[in-house]
Chain A
Amino acid sequence: MRTTRRVFLGGAASAVIGGMAGPGVIRSACAQGAASTVRIGMVLPVTGPGADAGRFALNGAKLALEQVNKAGGVLGKPLEIVTEDDLTTNPGAVLAFSKLASQSDLVGFLGSIRSTQNHAMAPDILKTGKPVCFGGTDPVLTQMGNPWLFRFRPNDSYSARVIADFGVTTLAKKKWAIIHSTDAFGTSGAKALTEALGKAGATIALDQGYTNQSQDFTPVVLAIRQSGADVIGSYFTFENDLGIFARQLRQLGVTVPWVGSPSIVNVTALKLAGPSLFGTYGVADYAEESSDAARNFGKAYRAATKIAPDNQSSWTFDAVTVLALAINKAGKTDPQAIREALLAVRGHEGAEGTYNFDKNGDGLHGYNVVKNDKGNIVFDKRIDFYQG
């Protein structure tokens, strides 16, 4: 025991010293490289429940990085992405961002796809004063007066308007059941959908929240059955919840049409839920058939990763592409100049749609409606609310 303890302690001590020295080494290596590249930071989940989404996000960003560098890079130098794990938690995101922000040579950042993490990082973003491109869809994020937030996905007020518009006008259904997670994404989505449906003259038979990582949705499904709703609108955050819900919905014989938020058509959801999702509609910020830009991205993404593209990778692809574009247009890495260049982007055809930034920093203003046709995602129509 004595000797093993001594050996262990020795090992531990050297590990501690190594740990102390480690980041320093990395940093000095970075410092040398700083002159030869233009670097942007990216906060993404590598561990925790969002690790999956993080992987897709990185794929999209890397694809854009390759294309940007192939086309000559940024300001004549190659572009480089520095990543930090946010652990899929809010404190993790704050630490990850502040760690990136402390590297003064980073000229811009990619934030999170999860609204709540962007909320958490917002004070630090304001302090840092450099543009952050993010994918969270809570409308409030771009309305807080934080000038450095730029959204690369359409916000939930649009998704709700599209769900309501499609369900009420195209499907002609007026009696709605709204199912949503009780997190930031789900509650804000449900709120927007309730408003949009009210304007469209539909009634809400059921508004039901659930907590993430539920193991069973039987009570929810039975409530839908009892409410007599003839259409379901949903905001699900995690695909495993969506999968369990979908399966139980079908098992308990609920067959009414279902129009869901983007997660209903993403790759993981399709894999997990399988046939249970056949025939459902989703609003998708990314739909492969919606435009040439989307098709090109899809082709390149498949070639690079061998998996189907979805919104988790398309928004980071667009963000890196547009950020590079803005820096080149600004002609320098001054944050204010990049910000103005980003706000000036008009009519950029991205994988997610056409980017027209408004004064709040929202780049997209519409959604695609897609249908799950026996496991294939088929583009139905695009509904866009952008008015010059």
Chain B
Amino acid sequence: MTGSPLPQAGVAAPASPAPRRLPVGSLIYAALSACAVFVAVSTPLNGYLLNILMQAATYAIAVIGLTVVLGLCGQINLAQAAFFGIGAYAVGLGTVDLGVNFWICLAAGLAAALVMGAFLGASTLRLGGHYLAMVTISFQQILTLVLVNWIPVTHGPDGVPRIQRPALFTDGQVYLGLCLAVLAVVAWVVWHMPRTRLGRAMRAVRDNELAAGVTGIDVYRTKVTAFAIGALLAGLGGGLFAGGFTYVSPDQFAFAESIVFLTMALLGGVGSPAGAVIGTGLLILIPEWLRFLKEIPGLYLAIYGLAVILIVVFMPEGIWGFLGDQVKRLRPRRPAPPRAGDLVLTQSAASAGPVLEVEALSKHFGGLKAVDEVSFTVTRGGIHALIGPNGSGKTTTLNVLSGLYKPTAGRVRLDGRDITHLPPHARAAAGLGRTFQNIRLFRSMSALENVVIGAERPGNEFAGADRATLQARARAALAFVGLEARAEEPVSAFSYGHQRLIEIARALAGNPSLLLLDEPAAGLNTSEKGALTGLLRRVAAKGVTILIIDHDMTLVSDVANHITVLNFGRRIADGVTATVLREPAVIEAYLGQDSAEPGAGRRDPGLRTDLHPA
């Protein structure tokens, strides 16, 4: 391109690095954005360049919406053009037919997009994946048909011409400046979003919904929020777009455009608003650059299609993801943070009653009674073990306790409060922490971030605290399990045993009144098991009650002071460790199972990994 402002406008928006302490980055960013706006307003642009830049700026805002919903929260949205259209039509119809002020129309469009997004999300986000894709496609199609056919209101396929721009911004370039300024603000907000509580919750949901739930994140609400924010930004982009082109018609907001938005987001890198801006810029420019191939119809779009495939194959994280990797490699390591303090685990010593009461709890899968009227009580302090042979219903019990399964019958009380019908995140808020047999960490985050999410569980005293407090808490928890020195490393860099420790640290940082551990010794070597034994004793010494499931009888008999034994979903023994381990029924269940009950171990292999009943 011949005009200079284009590259500047494209690069200026995302270029600032994340500020940690002083907002130096943000100040530089603000200065660069102001420069870009100034250049856009003052440099004479021809109509073509102005149109391209206007399109790029407004599209980029909508694509950043996809960064939130898809990049941060991992939910697909193939109706971004529909929300874009809602914003655009609100401005178009409002200013032209109703003669309402531009800003009021824009606000109405934002509200409409937000409400539609929240509604669509609320009605379908329990499904996820391809189903969400289909619902959004349907919404997109229906909206297009309404725009085309509801002629008295929408003007039908003619579209809405002569849309008013707001006073002060009637000049094309001044208006472009406005669009760039809005884009800069939106990009700045979304850039910082991953490190806010909401952003962390979204990333946690994206990485691992189950783990997010049990660490206290309301998965469903987080998803709906992300979806609504995505729709809101699309509406904002659309409203500005309508003012920019002063003409809107239904085919500008059709399904094909949603695909274009999605491709822009993935091409540039869905994880960051910088990627959104890059992707938008490129996908608007590439077809324009390739116009010189127009002699053969279709050729340039064919090349464009091919380019999309190549980029997806060779740049999996998008262009920004690729560039980001290079930058990270060059960036110097951060200086070591101050030494972590001691991990404080405060228990409400006042209530002397049992921590957990389980009454006649049952969980049936079809005709299979995985858990059958099991009752037991976990008293405050100390370590309670739930044991039993394979398929005895231990993990199912744990999943019912943490709310991942709904019980068929029975009652569960935590600290005297009935939690039988609460969803996982509400149980976490009530003071229940847990770990998983097959480790469930948030893969894209550092060890520290994982534990920060644990620390800010609702109900914890740190929930809503500032970043420094949360990080200090998380460091303390990591120090407690001996991993403080590696806090900044991504979790994928840790060994299996250490990942398990991070999971425990994540639960401990939330200061739970009861900690559920699902086979914590599985897959650990002897020395790691020894360390684990010590760790569990130290946790118990801090006053946290532990309910542990494990096969490893050495570990269990070493640490547990109370044992409940399950077999075939029923409780067969309960009592003080030494006594229970001597009971004949227990010995038979463990040692004599082959002779006593042929094929018992094979009865239902599915139960071993309870979370995958299919």
Contact = CB atoms under 8 A, between A and B. Distances in A.
A23 B148 contact: no
Nearest to A44: B294
Interface string B134-155: 0000000000010011010000
B291 A84 contact: yes
Interface residues of B, number: 43
A119 B251 CA distance: 13
A91 B157 contact: no
A9 interface: yes
A280 to B, nearest CB: 26
Interface stretch (A60-68, A98-106, A335-343): A98-106
A94 B157 contact: no
Q: How large is the interface on A (under 10, 10 to 19, 20 to 34, 35 or more residues)?
A: 35 or more
B247 A51 contact: no
Interface in B273-319: 285-286, 288-292, 294, 297-298, 300-301, 307, 310-311, 314-315
Nearest to B249: A90
B298 A47 contact: yes
A91 to B, nearest CB: 5
Nearest to B322: A9
B292 A26 contact: yes
A187 B156 contact: yes
B161 interface: yes
B252 interface: yes
B252 A122 contact: no
Contacts of B162: 123
A46 B296 CA distance: 8
A22 B2 CA distance: 10
Interface in B332-375: none
A240 interface: no
Contacts of B159: 90, 116, 119-120
Nearest to A4: B314
B515 to A, nearest CB: 43
B149 to A, nearest CB: 6
A123 B48 contact: no
The secondary structure that dominates the A interface is helix
B47 A127 contact: yes
B157 A182 contact: yes
Interface string A62-79: 000000000000000000
Contacts of A89: 251-252
A19 B157 contact: no
A23 B288 CA distance: 9
A90 B247 CA distance: 9
Contact of A95 (B48, B158, B286): B48
B149 A98 contact: no
Interface in B41-73: 46-52, 55
Given A90-B251, A91-B55, A102-B48, A123 B161 contact: yes
A5 B151 contact: no
Contact of A46 (B49, B148, B252, B297): B297
Contact of A98 (B48, B251, B301): B48
A101 B47 contact: yes
Contacts of B405: none
24 contacts: A5-B314, A9-B314, A20-B289, A22-B292, A23-B1, A23-B289, A23-B292, A24-B2, A51-B297, A89-B252, A91-B252, A94-B245, A95-B52, A95-B55, A99-B48, A102-B46, A116-B157, A119-B159, A122-B161, A123-B162, A123-B247, A182-B157, A184-B156, A184-B157
Interface of A: 4-5, 8-9, 12, 19-20, 22-24, 26-27, 46-47, 51, 54-55, 83-85, 89-91, 94-95, 98-99, 101-102, 115-116, 119-120, 122-124, 127-128, 138, 144, 182-184, 187-188, 209, 211
Interface of B: 1-2, 46-52, 55, 145, 148-149, 151, 156-159, 161-162, 245-247, 249, 251-252, 285-286, 288-292, 294, 297-298, 300-301, 307, 310-311, 314-315
